[in-house]
Amino acid sequence: MNKSELVSTMSTKVGESKKSAETNLDAIIEVISNELKNKGKVKLVDFGNFETRKRSARKGRNPRTKEEIKIPASVIPVFKAGKGLKEAVNK
């Protein structure tokens, strides 16, 4: 499912316009993104948690040239599924 399909499904489920559903989805994405940028966490009970983790610097290899390269340290977003979501997927 892509974003436009998600917006369409949301608008049907809630009974609002697609434009309103898209605005709401964009707001949710923006709030989660901003919280993660500020090194915060977003916990949605029974759905899951969004957080960031530090990835340390490491050595990698260019697959074309086989040359060894340095990959710098970075912060990555992580999602961990909650119990409710796991149960829903496994039913």
Residue in this structure with the two tokens 């074309």, named with its chain if needed? 64
pLDDT value at residue 20 = 96
Q: pLDDT tens, 9-66?
A: 999 999 999 999 999 999 999 999 999 999 999 999 999 999 999 999 999 999 999 9
Question: Judging by beta carbons within 10 Å of its beta carbon (0-12, 13-18, 19+), is residue 21 exposed, middle or buried?
Answer: buried
Q: What is the pLDDT of residue 30?
A: 97
HSE (CB half, 13 Å, CA atoms) of 84?
Answer: 7
Q: Residue 7 — pLDDT band, cuts 50, 70, 90?
A: very high
pLDDT at 61: 94
Tell me the torsion sign for CA atoms 35, 40, 45, 48. Answer: positive
What's the confidence (pLDDT) of residue 9? Answer: 97
- Computed over its alpha carbons, how large is the radius of gyration of the chain? 18
pTM (global) more than 0.95: no
Query: Dihedrals φ, ψ of 17, to 5°?
Result: -70, 160
